[in-house]
C-alpha cells in the first residue's frame, strides 16, 4: 500500500510539473504573439505618421519571426521615398532585418543588405553603395531615438552616370555613433557624433586618395529638428540660428602624415565656412605636397599682385619671387608655427583658418570650400 501511494504521489508531481511547463510555454507564446501584434500595429502607425510628414516606407514583402525571445521584422526590397525633397528622392536596398528583444524593446538592432541605390524618384540611380556588412543599433523608439550606431565593413560608394561608375569612397571599416546631447528629435536637437574609419580613401580627391585612418568627434548646434528637407535649407537654418560645429577631437593619419586638432566652425550669410581649428601636423612637407600648396601659393591672387609689382620694378623679378615662394613654403610655415612633437615625431602647431570659405594654413592659402547654400 505504501509503495503504491508513493508512486501515485510521484505521478501527480510529474503531471503537475508537465502542466506547469505547458502553461508556461502557452503563456509565453501568448505574450510573444501579443507583442508581435503590437509590433505590427506600431509599424503601421509609424508608417502612417511618416507618410503625413512626406516620408513613404515600403517593403516588397514583410514577415515577422524570432520566437521565443525576439521579434524580428524582415523586409525584402525595402524602399524609402522622401516626398518633401525637391525633387523627391528614393532610396532602395536589397533586404532589411530589424530585431528587438522581448525584454529590451527600446533597443532595435538592424542589418541591411546591399546594394543600396539613391535616385531622384522615377529616374535611374545616381549613387550606389555596397558593403560586406552593415549593422545598426538604435536606442529609444523610431520616433524618438536617443542613440544611433552604424557599422560598415568594406563599404564603397560610387557615382553612377549612364553605364559608368566613378568611385567616391572606399574603406576597410567605418563606424558612426551619434546621440542627442540636448533637446529632442523634434525641437532644437544638439547632436554629438563620432566618426571612426580604417583605410578610408576618397579616390576623386588627390589629397585623400591614399588610405587614411582616423577618429573625429563633433558637436553640432543649430538644428531645428530632423524633419526631411534639402541640405541647403538645413544649412541655412543652422546659420540663421547661430549654429556651429565644434570639433572636440580629431586625429587623421595617412602614411607618414599625422594630424590632430580641434576648434569651431560656423556658416556666414553667404553659406561659406568661417572659424578656426588649431592643428598639429607631423609630416608637413608631404601634406603640403599632397594638397598642391606650392602651386596654390604660386598662383594665388596675393602672389599675382606681389609678382606684378616686382616685375614693374625689374622684369623677371616677379617670376623669381613666385618660384622662391613655392619652394620655401614649408620652411616658412615651420617658422611661423609652433614647433612640437606628436607621438614621437617632429611636428608644428598652427591655425587652420576659414574665412568666407577660403582655407589658410597659418598665413598660406591652401584652397577654397564651396558655399553650402
Nearest to 351 by CA among 289, 277, 274: 277
* pTM reported for the whole predicted model: 0.78
- Type and span of the H or E element at 167: strand 164-170
Q: Three cell numbers at 86?
A: 525637391
CA distance 190 to 51: 25
Q: Three cell numbers at 224?
A: 531645428
Is pLDDT above 70 for 313? Answer: no
Share of the chain above pLDDT 90, in %: 49
Nearest to 348 by CA among 273, 292, 286: 286
- Locate the domains of the chain by residue range: 1-167
3-state helix, strand, coil in the chain (%, to 5): 30, 45, 25
pLDDT level of residue 297 (50, 70, 90 thresholds): low
pLDDT level of residue 100 (50, 70, 90 thresholds): confident
**Which range (28-37, 244-253, 298-307, 337-346) has the least confidence?**
298-307
* Residue 136 pLDDT: 93
pLDDT level of residue 91 (50, 70, 90 thresholds): very high
Of the two residues 233 and 86, the one the predictor is more confident about is: 233
Kind of pairing between the strands at 338-342 and 79-82: unpaired
- Type and span of the H or E element at 42: helix 2-52
Nearest to 223 by CA among 269, 194, 275, 183: 183
CA distance 328 to 320: 12
pLDDT level of residue 3 (50, 70, 90 thresholds): low
* Residue 318 pLDDT: 47
> Which tens digits make up the pLDDT trace of 111-143?
999 999 999 998 999 999 999 999 999 888 666
Q: Give me the mean pLDDT over the 59-87 stretch.
A: 89
Instruction: Show the CA angle centred on residue 119, arms to residues 116 and 123, nearest 5°.
Output: 130
> Which tens digits make up the pLDDT trace of 31-70?
777 777 766 776 776 778 778 878 899 999 988 888 888 8
Amino acid at each position: 500500500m505504501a509503495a503504491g501511494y508513493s508512486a501515485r504521489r510521484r505521478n501527480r508531481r510529474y503531471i503537475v510539473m508537465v502542466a506547469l511547463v505547458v502553461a508556461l510555454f502557452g503563456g509565453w507564446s501568448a505574450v510573444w504573439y501579443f507583442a508581435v501584434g503590437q509590433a505590427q500595429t506600431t509599424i503601421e502607425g509609424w508608417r502612417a505618421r511618416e507618410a503625413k510628414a512626406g516620408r513613404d516606407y515600403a517593403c516588397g514583402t514583410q514577415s515577422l519571426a524570432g520566437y521565443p525571445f525576439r521579434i524580428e521584422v524582415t523586409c525584402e526590397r525595402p524602399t524609402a521615398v522622401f516626398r518633401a525633397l525637391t525633387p523627391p528622392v528614393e532610396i532602395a536596398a536589397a533586404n532589411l532585418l530589424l530585431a528587438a528583444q522581448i525584454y529590451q524593446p527600446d533597443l532595435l538592432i538592424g542589418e541591411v543588405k546591399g546594394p543600396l541605390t539613391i535616385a531622384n524618384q522615377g529616374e535611374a540611380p545616381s549613387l550606389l553603395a555596397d558593403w560586406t556588412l552593415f549593422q545598426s543599433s538604435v536606442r529609444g523608439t523610431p520616433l524618438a531615438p536617443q542613440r544611433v550606431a552604424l557599422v560598415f565593413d568594406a563599404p564603397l560608394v560610387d557615382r553612377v552616370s549612364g553605364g559608368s561608375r566613378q568611385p567616391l569612397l572606399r574603406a576597410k571599416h567605418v563606424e558612426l555613433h551619434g546621440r542627442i546631447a540636448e533637446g529632442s528629435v523634434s525641437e532644437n536637437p544638439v547632436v554629438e557624433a563620432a566618426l571612426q574609419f580604417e583605410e578610408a580613401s576618397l579616390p576623386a580627391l588627390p589629397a585623400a586618395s591614399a588610405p587614411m585612418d582616423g577618429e573625429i568627434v563633433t558637436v553640432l548646434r543649430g538644428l531645428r529638428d530632423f524633419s526631411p528637407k534639402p541640405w541647403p535649407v538645413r544649412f541655412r537654418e543652422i546659420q540663421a540660428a547661430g549654429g556651429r560645429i565644434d570639433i572636440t577631437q580629431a586625429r587623421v593619419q595617412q602614411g607618414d602624415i599625422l594630424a590632430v586638432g580641434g576648434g569651431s566652425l560656423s556658416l556666414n550669410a553667404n553659406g561659406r565656412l568661417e572659424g578656426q581649428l588649431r592643428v598639429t601636423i607631423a609630416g608637413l612637407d608631404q601634406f603640403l605636397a599632397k594638397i598642391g600648396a606650392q602651386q596654390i601659393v604660386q598662383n594665388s591672387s596675393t602672389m599675382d599682385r606681389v609678382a606684378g609689382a616686382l616685375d614693374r620694378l625689374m622684369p623677371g623679378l616677379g617670376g623669381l619671387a613666385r618660384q622662391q615662394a613655392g619652394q620655401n613654403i614649408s620652411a616658412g610655415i615651420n617658422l611661423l608655427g609652433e614647433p612640437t612633437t606628436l607621438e614621437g615625431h617632429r611636428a608644428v602647431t598652427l591655425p587652420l583658418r576659414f574665412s568666407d570659405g577660403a582655407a589658410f594654413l597659418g598665413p598660406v592659402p591652401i584652397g577654397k570650400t564651396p558655399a553650402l547654400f
